[in-house]
Amino acid sequence: MCGLAMSVTPVKFGYTIKNYIIENITKTPFKKTLSATFAEIYVDFLVLSVISLLGMFYLKKFSVIGAVLIIIVSVIFYPSVFKKIFIQFRTILPYTIRKYYMVLKDMVSFFSIGLFGEVILITILAWLSEGISLSLILKGFGFDVNIIKTTIIFGFATLAGSLSMLPGGLIVSDITLFGLLVYIGIPAYISLGATILARICTLWLSVIVGNSALFLNRKVFFGVQK
């Protein structure tokens, strides 16, 4: 839960703090916790990529190319396949990337077929909850948009924000979410209100909850006296 506090740190720097907290509590080596963090980011990116590509169905932009892209992303980013590709290319990659090979190797070792399926399912459910919140917000404004469509819209906006490397995807995610809502026929003034509420109920609520948990457990995490 405390990891939610790191959602708005620049360039995902908060993950480093989260790794430090995990190491401090569990005495697990930082390198191992870093591999777990990479696995978390990896699965999120995979699921968001597939969700975004599936959006071609609902935004009426689907084509054979879209179907091929979904298959390619799903196959390439399956852990064992991704590892083999990385091994083939690591000799020509910059040293700053190659030195993370062992981290990647440890990350891949986390995923058996069964575990990978469970993690993917949990991640999909997590993003589905974001779609449900957006759907309910739009319903409150008088627009009935199905949950699948809102999940795809929210997922694509989040992916765009993540790739920008800005804290919490600020501005990029907001503009993308607003633009997609307008694209599907929601009036601009409603889209603006829905975007603001959606971000408050997801990103900023998680930051508040995470920071509250972090503050209440500061002694355990950092050895700070209450």
> Per-residue pLDDT tens for 171-188?
889 998 999 899 889 999
Question: Residue 65 — pLDDT band, cuts 50, 70, 90?
Answer: low
Structure tokens at 113: 């077929």
The better pLDDT of the pair 72, 199 is held by 199
Cα 102 from Cα 109, distance rounded (Å): 11
Range with the poorest average pLDDT among 44-48, 80-84, 104-108, 139-143: 80-84
Question: Would residue 187 be called left, alpha or beta, if left means φ above 0 and alpha means ψ between -120 and 50 degrees?
Answer: beta
* Number of Cβ within a 10 Å radius of residue 18: 23
Q: Do 199 and 171 meet the contact criterion of CB atoms below 8 Å apart?
A: no
Domain ranges of the chain: 11-222
Helices (H), ranges, the chain:
14-26, 30-58, 64-76, 79-89, 95-98, 101-109, 113-140, 147-164, 172-183, 188-199, 205-216, 218-222
Q: Show Cβ contacts of residue 127 under 8 Å, excluding neighbours closer than 6 positions.
A: 47, 48, 51, 151, 154, 155, 158
The Cα 130–Cα 126 span in angstroms is 7
165: phi then psi, degrees, rounded to nearest 5: 65, 15
Report pLDDT digits (tens) over 8-33.
766 566 677 777 777 777 777 777 77
Q: Which residues have CB under 8 Å from 159's CB, separation 6+?
A: 45, 48, 49, 51, 52
Tokens of 132: 């449900």
